[in-house]
Amino acid sequence: MPNDVSKGKGTKLFHQDIVQKVSSPDYRGIVLRCWHDAEDVPPAIYGVDPLMRPLAYGEAGVTFISHKGERQILPESELQLLDRTLQPGDYCKRSFDDVRAGVVTNIKVKGRIAHAVSAEKVDGWRTLKDVDDRADAEIGDYLVYDDWIGQLIEVFDESIVEVLAGQAGQLVRLPELGSRLTVGETGVDVLPPPASGTQSLFESPQRNNENKDVVVAVKHTVYAIAWLAVNQSLDVAVAENKLRPKRFWFGQDLGKLTLVRGLSDMELRVGDRIFLKDAKGLPMTTHGQAGDATGVLNVQTFRVNQTSTELDVLWQDGSKETIRSTEVIPYLNPDEYDCWPGDHVMWKNDGDTRPAIVQSVDAVQRTALILFPDTGAIELASLLELDAHGHSDHDPTNPTASPDGFGVRRGDFVLIHALGSSNGMRNPRVPRIGEIEPWVRENPFTDGEYSGWRKELQELGSAIAAKRSADFPQEKMIQRPAKGDGKISWCGEVTGLNLDGTVEVTHPDWTVMTYPLERLTRLYDGIEQLEEDAFDASDDGHSHGEDEETWAMDEDGIWRPEIQENDEWEDVSMQGIETEEIIEIDEVGDLMEVDNILPPSEATQTESMGSGPSGNALFHPLDAVVEVVEGQQDDPGEGIQWKRFEILSSAPPDHAFFSSSPALPSKSFLARLNKEYRALTSGLPDSILVRAYEDRTDLLRCLIIGPENTPYQDAPFVIDWMLDSNFPHSPPIAHFLSWTNGNGRVNPNLYEEGKVCLSILGTWTGDKHEVWSATRSSLLQAFVSIQGLVLVKEPWFCEPAYDKLRGTEEGTVNSRLYNEKAFVLSRGFVRRALEIPLGGLESEITYLYHTQGRLHKIMNDAELLIQKSKDSPDIGPGDQDLAVPRLTAGGTIALERILTKLRNYIQATPS
């Protein structure tokens, strides 16, 4: 979709919004797709489902529940927002350009209902207190049995469907795997064609195309439960003897289970089928014929058609408000430093880390009042010095704790440890448990038929259905917790975060207790795990495999299947053309085109290989290249004067891949390396240095200086590289030396643990012309791509899902905050490079920042920016195009700490 510069404030509808057509108010539905959804490619089933075509800006995909699930994509201007679905723990804002955000602490929902079959409306609003809680457990619900908590992942249903034949209706019992049908659904295709395993259970009536099937009852008869965790308050010896319960539950055994629902899951939602505690005098329908095997069925099931949601919101500054959900918008892309009162965070500065609890946040100035529990002191801190989540890519103090975050959030389900015991983690970390068993992840189909546990579930459900049709076996209802019974006090839902660091937990019996953080362990939601599996399977972040066909553009500009040659970079159309580089950089520093990085002639290639003893193959083939390098870099250009490419005698011990075992390079590897070196010799810009090593031909190190008018300006970015034995058929392996001290990524593509996320490196999916190709790609292209495509003026938009937000107020606000973070962190990179000598680049760092005066420039620029930010916080017209026009108070605090350290290195500047 082309970028629309007229986007303005952004779209007004979001996923799960309840809307109606402006022209036809009786059309009410749920937004299932919106422009904000992260979709890189059109859905594969576009053309089959009318909701699945690519969305244009200002469009939304809606399922109209009031009209039998009709699905349409419509302009937002034709839709009116009725209600907005938010849950406790969700973030929200008043508007896109509002920096202050809130967290939902509680919701209250009221709804209008109608009979699920006849659609006859019922006057007035209904709330949760009017609902009879006798519905079945649904997929995703938690269930408790014998000190185990599990999650319902699949059901076997028996639905009763009325098939109209003339004026009379015939009831048919339909058993099937999965929760496909709900009461009130109609259509000519509700009953599937008789199939193996089901045809003996009901007799299909005579039908014609005008007959409509009507679902009049649905019952879950068999439950498949994934048991996640055992009661953590038990003595270890007792817990070890608690055997994991069985997978499948039905019949009398259902009465042994206790249903535990989240508080928000109990609230009314549009489309829910409910029963009322008092339905006297309300609509009822009758189905079936007297004398039939199924008999006559009276239905008094109701469908929720409309809701109105009221939110309790805690704003970052500590103020609280009760507000209609339609008066806020979802905060979909929170800043990584965002936090709220009661949140557990880690304050990090200069290697010092201390746990703290947020008291209040000034989102505009990016500062927070935080409580240090060890001293009781409350201090002002920059948000840029707070780790609010504990999900940094690399935690050297606790490398095994990456799945575990800091503290808990409202809506989290937790297990309670016994008084006097703990979760075993150091505050503010909270572990999570509940990894689902391997059987849950089994492939559902084999040769078009159910397989594994699903096949077992289908067979079990079908057998029960056959028995039911004969003797109607008795079943027990799943239990519900009684208020205050205290039977399940070892688990609950987080409903509040207190300013002293304690956590409010509401137990299944609705009692509310307060616990210290160390007595809590989060339950890892099983459905969430399966969704993560599906996401990982659909997009593993890697490029096409070696066996996949790749395409390249020929000399006529036509894309053709790429032919893999034994000797890469061989193309007769290139013979006799001098090596040159065409690199075009636009005014914001983005790389526009890299082309014509050509290899040397065949004669030079042969000569440079040499013919020394095989034992010296790691060294001698480079001699000719060294001479060329030294001969071609006498005049490196204006500004910076240094050798952009150089081959050193040995790799430094601080290289990320120094401890790896090098494979003996092949002749073809060294030949390709020779060509790569020649391209680097003449093609590197002044702001990129590359060092290779005689003793380790598989390793390189590059230093990239941040481009002008980006948040990375003048900062050093060091990436270590390794070429495996399959190079160039596989891309080079990169490791970014992140010097953020656990304060977050300096760039979306540069991870704290060292990953460089880029298509050409095979660490991100891309078009076929973007991924690494042995015949089209080069090391030079990879280095320049990082400088031109990663270290850019607006790095926040490097995330694919965010690029479409260019031109919106949401994108502008988030990009500005990200740029400030990137600028401050990258000033810390300067300090790190000066503080700890960088193997093989010591003299270059000294030259750049001392001899060439770049450190003075960095200091002057930073001090001027701080002064401008204090004198005139508003951005003037002349500063609109600057990457970092102003700093918040929080940004200033963090930057001034770094400048204090950098001033010490000014003294080391040679006179």
Q: Alpha-carbon distance 441 to 85, whole Å?
A: 30
Strands (E), 483-581: 491-497, 503-506, 512-515, 520-523, 551-553, 559-561
What is the side-by-side strand order in the sheet with 79-83?
70-75, 59-64, 28-34, 18-21, 79-83
Taking a C-beta distance cutoff of 8 angstroms, is the pair 273, 162 a contact?
Answer: no
Are the C-beta atoms of residues 269 and 172 closer than 8 Å to each other?
no
For residue 438, whether the previous peptide bond is cis, meaning omega lies within 30 degrees of 0, is: no
Largest CA distance in the chain: 107
Say if residues 833 and 846 touch (Cβ distance below 8 Å).
no
Which residues are 493's β-sheet partners?
Answer: 413, 506
d(CA 504, CA 371): 18
Whether the CA torsion 680, 681, 683, 687 is positive or negative: it is: positive
Which positions are annotated as active-site residues?
757
Could you give the CA distance from residue 515 to residue 522 in angstroms, rounded to a whole number?
A: 13
3-state secondary structure 154-178: EEEEEEEEEEEECCEEEEEEEEEEC
Cis peptide before 473 (omega within 30 of 0): no
CA distance 81 to 465: 43
- Non-local CB neighbours of 453 within 8 Å, separated by 6+ positions: 224, 247, 439, 440, 442
Nearest 5°: the CA angle 146, 148, 151 is 125
**16 Rama sector, left if φ>0, alpha if ψ -120 to 50, beta otherwise:** left
What is the spatial distance between Cα 619 and Cα 839, in angstroms, rounded to a whole number?
20
8 A C-beta contact, residue 232 and residue 490? yes
Token pair for 632: 């071609």
Q: Which of 459, 457, 455 is nearest to 445 (CA)?
A: 455
- On whether the CB atoms of residues 798 and 811 are closer than 8 A, the answer is no
